[in-house]
Chains A and B, each alone.
Chain A
Amino acid sequence: MSNTVRFWLMVLPGTVFLVVFLLLPLIAIVVFSFWRTESYTLIQDWNLDNYATIFSHSAYLTFLARALVMATCVSLVCLAYAWPVAYFIVRYGGRYRLILLLSTAAPFLTGEILRVAALQQILGPIGVVNMALTRFGFDPIEALMYSNMATGTGLVYLWLPFMVLAIYLSLLNFDFALLDVAKITGAGPLRAFVEVTLPLNRAGTAIGIVLVFIPTLASATTSQFLGGPDGALYGNILARQFGSTGTWALGSAMGVVLFLASALALVIVWRAVGDLRRSGIVIKGAPKP
């Protein structure tokens, strides 16, 4: 078998998969976004009305802004929480490192709906927390009940393992002896972290942020079940266009906008990470700085 045939045999399945399941649906979405819907029927009538609706009606921009704020907050909370967890596992986990890492992903053994339902039982007005408070004569915490706070908590719970995993993998390549050098040269623990550990693991951190930010931006289920009357995010409204309202053309335009927003987030993170050679990622064959 020639090298060319072997090359195509290896490349073809992946390419076909990407074309059929990613590229073609994406093209269809882009095409539909320039059509219109009338009484649940998609009509081939090329126009920019759907984009005009999204950018001229404050409601759609509000949902996008809500989703961006939610994704940013969830990413930051996950970041703050995941760093010490991953650091502890890598530094002190010893031969149990893998088990400890996998235990952070234990909730993934159940489905998303089940996890959200479990959170409802904890955070809701008749959840464990508020029932306990009322039992002891305190007022229930309203912020926990069907609110953006509840949605945020649910999303952190949902995506935290991805952030932990990304930082963990980055820290595995990190030479902890560098911290001893920093200490010898007079740096305290905080300064050593800020000037040595964090910069050398920024690629892992950035990948973690992307893994949390992008799915949160598009999320719908968590806010649907935990968010209150003010809890609708962009993903909820997007899902509705393809469900109950049947406004597929507007939904497609919303999908394109979401895709572009996600791509923009990726570019920003890529630019922020900058030079991978100084970020703990080892590229085989790359010239040494």
Chain B
Amino acid sequence: MSRPTRRQFLKSTATIAAGTALAMPHVRKAAAATLELRWLGWEHYNVAKIVREFEKAYKVRISSSYIDANSEAYNTLRAGGTADFDLVMGDGFWPRLYAKQGLTQPVDYRKIANIDKVFPHFRPPGSTILQEEGGKAMIAAPNCWGGYGLTVNLNKIDKADAHSLSLLFNDKYGRRLSTSARLEENIALAGILAAHKMGTKTAARPDGKPFNPYVLTDAELEEAKALLIKQKRLLVTRWNDENTLERLLRAEAVWASPEWSGIYRRIHFDKLDGKTRLNMTHALRPTEGGLGWVDSWAISAGVTSSEKLELCHKWIDWRLKPENMAIVATDLGWSPTVDVRRLIPRRYVETLFLNQTQVIQDLYQYDAPSSPEKWERVWSEVQAA
């Protein structure tokens, strides 16, 4: 076969380029014909099987973007993200903030058949956290729940220390502790301990409301800061991602850390299945009090077409389908707000805290700090100390 000449090469290239240019508008039209649902949330919920089957069932395309903190989702929406995302996830009180700022729109529970399968503690009248403040409209639909409790290796840590927040500040376990890198939860958790020590948790609050670790007084913030500075020398690291913490816990390089219960469950599932000898426990609600979350799906204010709005509701309904929630529970270790007890191995039920969903009512729900600017300074001072 003879080698092509330069003229032949240029001719072929020009033909291909012209062909591609002519075909592009049609390709674009074909792509545009497929409706796309874009969600912003936690990466671990991007479960391939659940997404693939939804795409197949409704002939749509799902795309997802991820956040590291609720405030990040909030800031993204505020910076024009309502046009870029159809659904957004939020924990605790955050969906109320989204709604208050007009960043999301009401969710019509009548269009979500599986909402009836949600445990009563996560929907009205059992819980009103996903209801518009002072109104009746629902602003989001629940997904999974948990705490920011303590996962503790009982082979290394005294049982008597395992259920107290003081564990995270105990010299006895120096260079064997870890916490997440998220400033809100670090300050809030230290704030609970600080208020507990100062006796201000149960006392009358300046705002007249019950104690909320995201609304700390200056004195409590100072005490929390002192605790966090003291804690620094006890830490191996502040983890940025769950995989890092899971590896450190499994290798026993870290003996205790607060986390969202998922890692504890995955390790404990392995123990129940005879795959590990690690003896882990999880203090969902530490003695002094703990943080909790119910993450949820909210619909962006940018969704204006009725077709897209319908699809958003279908997606939420799909995610709440018990069979799909069972996958999230057993494969990922997140506890669903839907009752999946009949669909998962019995030995997993207790580890997922599915028989004690009422605990959520005793946990301080994730919220926005009362003054992000003040909390920023406190966290900077902790990091610089």
> Is B59 engaged at the interface, CB distance under 8 Å to the other chain?
no
Give B359-385 as 1s and 0s: 1 = Cβ < 8 Å from A's Cβ atoms: 000000000100111011101110111
> Is B78 engaged at the interface, CB distance under 8 Å to the other chain?
yes
Cα distance, A59 to B175, chains bound together (Å): 24
User: Is A126's CB under 8 angstroms from B247's CB?
Assistant: yes
The count of A-to-B residue pairs whose CB atoms sit within 8 angstroms is 98
Give A189-232 as 1s and 0s: 1 = Cβ < 8 Å from B's Cβ atoms: 00000000000000000000000000000000000110011101
Given contacts A126-B248, A224-B240, whether A243 and B380 have CB atoms under 8 Å apart is: no
> Is A51 engaged at the interface, CB distance under 8 Å to the other chain?
no
Per the 8 Å Cβ criterion, residues 141-191 of A in contact with B are 142, 145-146
Q: What number of B residues sit within 8 Å (CB to CB) of A?
A: 37
User: Is A40's CB under 8 angstroms from B236's CB?
Assistant: no
User: Is A247's CB under 8 angstroms from B372's CB?
Assistant: yes
Residues of A within 8 A of B71 (CB): 40, 243-246
Partner of B236 from the list A53, A63, A125, A240 (CB cut-off 8 Å) is A125
> Is B331 engaged at the interface, CB distance under 8 Å to the other chain?
no
> Is A3 engaged at the interface, CB distance under 8 Å to the other chain?
no
User: Is B69's CB under 8 angstroms from A244's CB?
Assistant: yes
Residues of A within 8 A of B175 (CB): 142
Per the 8 Å Cβ criterion, residues 17-41 of B in contact with A are none
User: Is A241's CB under 8 angstroms from B376's CB?
Assistant: yes
> Is A58 engaged at the interface, CB distance under 8 Å to the other chain?
yes
> Is B232 engaged at the interface, CB distance under 8 Å to the other chain?
yes
Nearest opposing residue in chain B for A60, CB measure: B380
Given contacts A62-B384, A126-B248, A228-B237, whether A240 and B376 have CB atoms under 8 Å apart is: yes
Cα distance, A229 to B181, chains bound together (Å): 9
Given contacts A62-B384, A250-B376, whether A244 and B251 have CB atoms under 8 Å apart is: no
Cα distance, A57 to B383, chains bound together (Å): 13
Give B229-255 as 1s and 0s: 1 = Cβ < 8 Å from A's Cβ atoms: 000110111101000100110010100
Give A102-141 as 1s and 0s: 1 = Cβ < 8 Å from B's Cβ atoms: 0000000000000000001000111000000000000000
Per the 8 Å Cβ criterion, residues 266-310 of B in contact with A are none
Cα distance, A39 to B97, chains bound together (Å): 11
> Is A37 engaged at the interface, CB distance under 8 Å to the other chain?
yes
Nearest opposing residue in chain A for B253, CB measure: A125
Residues of B within 8 A of A232 (CB): 383-384
Cα distance, A241 to B372, chains bound together (Å): 10
> Is B74 engaged at the interface, CB distance under 8 Å to the other chain?
yes
User: Is A244's CB under 8 angstroms from B68's CB?
Assistant: yes
Q: What number of A residues sit within 8 Å (CB to CB) of B?
A: 35
Give B54-78 as 1s and 0s: 1 = Cβ < 8 Å from A's Cβ atoms: 0000000000000011011011001
> Is A45 engaged at the interface, CB distance under 8 Å to the other chain?
no
User: Is A243's CB under 8 angstroms from B75's CB?
Assistant: yes
User: Is B253's CB under 8 angstroms from A126's CB?
Assistant: yes
User: Is A145's CB under 8 angstroms from B372's CB?
Assistant: no
Partner of B181 from the list A40, A142, A224, A242 (CB cut-off 8 Å) is A224
Partner of B184 from the list A62, A244, A250 (CB cut-off 8 Å) is A244
- Distance from B11 Cβ to chain A, minimum over Cβ atoms (Å): 27
Nearest opposing residue in chain B for A228, CB measure: B237
Cα distance, A58 to B69, chains bound together (Å): 27
Cα distance, A120 to B240, chains bound together (Å): 13
User: Is A246's CB under 8 angstroms from B372's CB?
Assistant: yes
> Is A258 engaged at the interface, CB distance under 8 Å to the other chain?
no
Residues of A within 8 A of B219 (CB): none
Residues of B within 8 A of A37 (CB): 372-373
Nearest opposing residue in chain A for B243, CB measure: A117
User: Is B251's CB under 8 angstroms from A126's CB?
Assistant: yes
Residues of A within 8 A of B68 (CB): 243-244
Nearest opposing residue in chain B for A61, CB measure: B384
Given contacts A59-B384, A245-B372, whether A125 and B251 have CB atoms under 8 Å apart is: yes
Residues of A within 8 A of B183 (CB): 240, 244-245
> Is B117 engaged at the interface, CB distance under 8 Å to the other chain?
no
Give B158-175 as 1s and 0s: 1 = Cβ < 8 Å from A's Cβ atoms: 000000000000000001
> Is A85 engaged at the interface, CB distance under 8 Å to the other chain?
no
Of A58, A245, A250, chain B has the most CB atoms within 10 Å of the CB of: A245
A40-B74, A228-B237, A245-B183 given; name 7 further pairs at CB < 8 Å.
A59-B385, A125-B253, A146-B236, A240-B376, A243-B71, A244-B68, A246-B372
Chain A residues proximal to chain B, CB less than 8 Å = 37-41, 53, 57-60, 62-63, 120, 124-126, 142, 145-146, 224-225, 228-230, 232, 237, 240-247, 250
Kindly list the 4 A-B residue pairs having the minimum CB-CB distance in the complex, ordered from nearest. A59-B384, A146-B237, A125-B253, A62-B384
A selection of 26 A-B contacts at a CB cut-off of 8 Å is: A37-B373, A39-B368, A40-B75, A40-B368, A58-B384, A59-B380, A59-B381, A59-B383, A63-B380, A125-B251, A126-B248, A142-B175, A228-B236, A229-B238, A229-B383, A230-B383, A232-B383, A243-B71, A244-B68, A244-B69, A244-B72, A244-B182, A245-B183, A246-B372, A247-B373, A250-B376
